[in-house]
Chains A and B, each alone.
Chain A
Amino acid sequence: MTFVDKINDLQDKKQKLELGGGKERIATQHEKGKLTARERINKLFDEGSFVEVGTFAETSCIDFDMQKKKAPGDGVVTGYGTINGRPVFAAAQDFTVIAGSLGGMHAKKIVNVMNMAAKTGAPFIALNDSGGARIEEGVEALGGYGDIFKMNTMLSGVVPQITVIMGPCAGGASYSPALSDFVFMVENTAQMFITGPSVIQAITGEEVTMDELGGAKIHTTKSGNAHRSFENEDQCFDGIKKLLSFLPDNNLAGLPQYECTDSLNRTAEAIYDLIPEGKSGYDVKSLILQIVDNADIFEIHPDFAQNVVTCFARINGKTVGIVANQPNVKAGCLDIDASDKAARFVRFCDSFNVPLVTLTDVPGYLPGKDQEYDGIIRHGAKLLYAFSEATVPKINVITGKAYGGAYIAMNSKHLGADIVYAWPSAEIAVMGPDGAANIIFRKDIKDSSDPVQTRKDKIQEYTDKVTNPYVAASKGFVDDIIDPAQTRQYVAAALEMLSSKSEARPKKKHGNIPL
């Protein structure tokens, strides 16, 4: 071949490889409402920015006639490019190539780009769409998964890792998403589970469909394994881009700074109308939208453990991580799922230097035998640990109830919050007046000629004397009591002041967070 022949031959080879498993399989993929690996990459990355690596990688397995099967790129497209101008690495499994099954080389390619992401400090995104391990490759495939899981762990806290489930993700393959920071799923076409319906049927006799077992709805509402779900792949890509816009490239990079077009001095009198008189609930998200820039948030786990809200937003053009109790759901109590959800979010923010802003309105931990038997003690402790451990700026605004252990857990001064504000309507106490009066004034009530009235009076006495923010403020647990309409101003000023915060921790390999 002449030199030019070789170049033409190369173009030829590349064009064929780009078709993956071939036109027929591409059509099948489309019929299912799914895009191919390369189509997904083109939609996700800025136009023309994607550089592929490992195009010509091939499996070396010859067991079970493996060499007779064509596996372009060994079923995965890997490389790097830019998303909204910022560097990102990605691996997109190609379902048209032996059902995107993972073999040794497939895994090596993924590990390779993950390694580059770590070395250069840029986020890594995995687009999962795979039938699982390539059985012919046996233990080699298992080893491949193992290598990927180790890389997920090495990258954890170094660069943001987002895994997107866009097809089947079964068996051990589910652990890579679980190890990454955020898991997105596409509705209807994506399922994730350890053992599939047929195995479950064989072993336990239970019948369940793939979607009932591990579809997007299950993982975003029940199991909490997925942080967001999207109606279709396009919306999913928009979601990824939006999330990335809040995150730094890596743990040593500064937070992305945008121009702030929303005045920091904006007072939000609308807040007065949000909070009802009396004891009924309200939607804390409306409050969050009043406080942040341009009412723009990206919620994590919106449908899981809805009694706590975790979301990214910006104040003064810079990312903040918000954790807020949701009075509308389970009275805003903390329970097992809420503690898990909030603790993981707090630790992600701390890993990537995102300041934390909490809105506290919590009546306590959810009582009940189920919670106790399922371990509310060790799960609730996770949130206490996460806030105490965090060295990012920590700002707490107590907007309502703050009772008992839940008061402590919600970013209190005692756990190291830098600034704690309270609204004049805040109730900060060890116990509610009803319960407290029974204990403290037990003798008065017992000895009284009208116990029912005395109890009522004592409850009122306790309410007036104790459950108000001035007591906590008098002890320095609350830095100031503020007009709710000025919450944004106070929080923005605190964030500005704390932007240069640096806090040391005793040297250790790492702590032992209750799990």
Chain B
Amino acid sequence: MMKKFLISVNGNQYEVEVEEVGNGQSVQSVQPIRVAAPAPAAAPAAKAPAAAPEAKAAPAVSKSAPAGAEKVSAPMPGTILKVVVDQGSVVKRGDVVCILEAMKMENEIVAPKDGTIASVNVQPGASVNAGDILVSIA
């Protein structure tokens, strides 16, 4: 479950969404409420819980799928357990692209067609809703 916190750092307020996953906390997003100068904005981000820089270091995770690529979406809300492909991986129809933990099960999300992974839109630990893009295939 996502919880929202307002963090004040050096007089600037930041809206932070946090999800408890049991083994520590990962910050999902950090959004400045008041637009601050770039320098102060970078400093609070560095002081935010450890997972934020981790998120920046993760392999290429896109926000959207390239035009023309077929989107593979989450069939139900849950948490990404594993991503088994990278951008550029060649897949066949039926190959597992990621594992979605939902409804007490580890659900294999498979490629709907042969192709190449055009974008990877989630990383392990990500919380997804039904319809969220997981990967896209060109």
Are B22 and A455 in touch, CB under 8 angstroms? Answer: yes
A-contacting 9-mer, from B33-41, B62-70, B100-108: B100-108
Q: Does B130 contact A (CB under 8 A)?
A: yes
A281→B104 CA distance, assembly (Å): 11
On whether the beta carbons of A331 and B22 are closer than 8 Å, the reply is no
Q: Which residues of A contact B104 (CB under 8 A)?
A: 279, 331, 363-364, 401, 403, 432, 434
Given the complex of chains A and B, what is the CA–CA distance between A278 and B81 in angstroms? 14
How far is A329 from B103 in the complex, measured between Cα atoms in Å? Answer: 11
Chain A CB within 8 A of B18 CB: no
- The answer to whether the Cβ of B23 comes within 8 Å of any Cβ in the partner chain is yes
Instruction: Identify A333's interface contact among B22, B23, B103, B108, CB under 8 A.
Output: B103
The listed residue with most A CB atoms (<10 A of its CB), out of B101, B105, B108, is B105
The docked-state distance in angstroms from the alpha carbon of A370 to that of B103 is 17
CB contact under 8 A between A280 and B105, given known A330-B75, A368-B77, A452-B22: yes
Question: Does B12 belong to the interface (CB within 8 Å)?
Answer: no
- In the complex, per-residue mask of B48-79: 1 if CB is within 8 Å of any chain A CB, else 0: 00000000000000000000000000011100
Bits for A318-358, please: 1 = Cβ < 8 Å to B, else 0. 00000000011111110000000000000000000000000
Q: How far is the CA of A211 from the CA of B76 in the complex (A)?
A: 29
For the complex, give the distance between the alpha carbons of A455 and B102 in Å.
19
Residues in B neighbouring A403, C-beta threshold 8 A: 104
The answer to whether A331 and B107 touch (CB under 8 A), given A368-B129, A452-B23, A455-B22, is yes
In the bound complex, what is the Cα–Cα distance between A431 and B105 (angstroms)?
A: 14
Picked from A279, A330, A434, A452, the residue with its CB within 8 Å of the CB of B106 is A279
What is the interface size of chain B, counting residues whose CB is below 8 A from a CB of the partner?
15
Q: Which residue of B lies closest to A403 (CB)?
A: B104
Q: Is A366 an interface residue (CB 8 A)?
A: yes
B106–A333 touching, CB < 8 Å: no
Q: Which of A452-476 contact B (CB under 8 A)?
A: 452, 455
Q: Is the CB of A364 within 8 A of B103?
A: yes
A368 touches B105 (CB 8 A): no
Number of A-B pairs, beta carbon distance below 8 Å: 53
A281 to B106, CA, bound (A): 7
Q: Is the interface of A mostly helix, strand, loop or mixed?
A: loop
Question: Cβ of A367: which chain B residues have Cβ within 8 Å of it?
Answer: 76-77
Q: Quick one: CB contact mask for A412-434 with B, threshold 8 Å, 1 for yes?
A: 00000000000000000000101
A280 is contacted by which of B75, B102, B108 (Cβ under 8 Å)?
A: B108
Residues on A with C-beta less than 8 A from B130 are: 366, 368, 370
Q: Are A330 and B76 within 8 A (Cβ)? A: yes
Minimum CB–CB distance from B70 to chain A (whole Å) comes to 16
Determine the chain B residues whose CB is within 8 A of the CB of A363 once the complex forms. Answer: 103-105
The minimal Cβ–Cβ distance linking B123 to chain A, given in whole angstroms, is 20
- Size of the A side of the interface (Cβ < 8 Å), in residues, is 23
Shortest Cβ distance from residue B16 to the other chain A in the assembled complex, whole angstroms = 21
Q: Nearest Cβ in chain A — how far from B106, in angstroms?
A: 4
- Per DSSP, chain B at the interface is loop
Q: How far is the CA of A332 from the CA of B105 in the complex (A)?
A: 10
Rounded to whole Å, the gap between the CB of A318 and the closest CB of chain B is 34
Residues of chain A within 8 A of B75, CB atoms compared:
329-330
Are B105 and A279 within 8 A (Cβ)? yes
From 254 to 283 in chain A, residues with beta carbon under 8 angstroms from any chain B beta carbon are 278-281
Docked CA distance A281–B110 (Å): 12
- In Å, the complex CA distance between A279 and B102 comes to 10
Contacts of A333 in B (CB 8 A): 76, 103
A281 to B108, CA, bound (A): 8
In the complex with contacts A366-B76, A370-B130, A281-B107 CB distance below 8 A: yes
Smallest Cβ-Cβ distance to A433: which chain B residue: B104
Task: Give chain A interface residues in 262-308, CB to chain B under 8 Å.
Answer: 278-281
User: How far apart are the CA atoms of A367 and B102 in the complex, in Å?
Assistant: 10
By a CB distance below 8 angstroms, the chain A residues around B101 are 279
Give the residue among B22, B101, B129, B130 with the most A Cβ atoms within 10 A: B130
Distance from B76 Cβ to chain A, minimum over Cβ atoms (Å): 5
Whether B105 contacts A327 by the Cβ 8 Å rule is: yes
Do B106 and A280 touch (CB < 8 A)?
A: yes
Q: A-facing mask of B88-120, CB < 8 A → 1, else 0?
A: 000000000000011111111000000000000
By beta carbon, the residue of chain B nearest A367 is B77
A280 to B110, CA, bound (A): 13
Q: Mark out the residues of chain B between 11 and 29 whose CB falls within 8 Å of any chain A CB in the assembled complex.
A: 22-23
Q: Which residues of the partner chain A approach B77 to less than 8 Å between Cβ atoms?
A: 367-368
Contact with B along A366-408 (1 / 0, CB 8 A): 1110100000000000000000000000000000010100000
Q: Which residues of B contact A (CB under 8 A)?
A: 22-23, 75-77, 101-108, 129-130
- A positions within 8 Å CB-CB of B: 278-281, 327-333, 363-364, 366-368, 370, 401, 403, 432, 434, 452, 455
A–B complex contacts, Cβ < 8 Å, 19 sampled: A278-B106, A279-B101, A279-B105, A280-B105, A280-B107, A281-B105, A281-B108, A328-B108, A330-B75, A330-B76, A331-B102, A331-B107, A333-B76, A363-B104, A363-B105, A366-B103, A366-B130, A367-B76, A368-B130
Given A327-B105, A432-B104, 12 additional A-B pairs, CB 8 A:
A279-B105, A280-B108, A330-B75, A331-B76, A331-B102, A331-B105, A363-B104, A367-B76, A368-B76, A368-B129, A403-B104, A452-B23
What 5 A-B pairs are tightest by C-beta distance, nearest first?
A331-B103, A363-B103, A279-B106, A331-B105, A363-B104
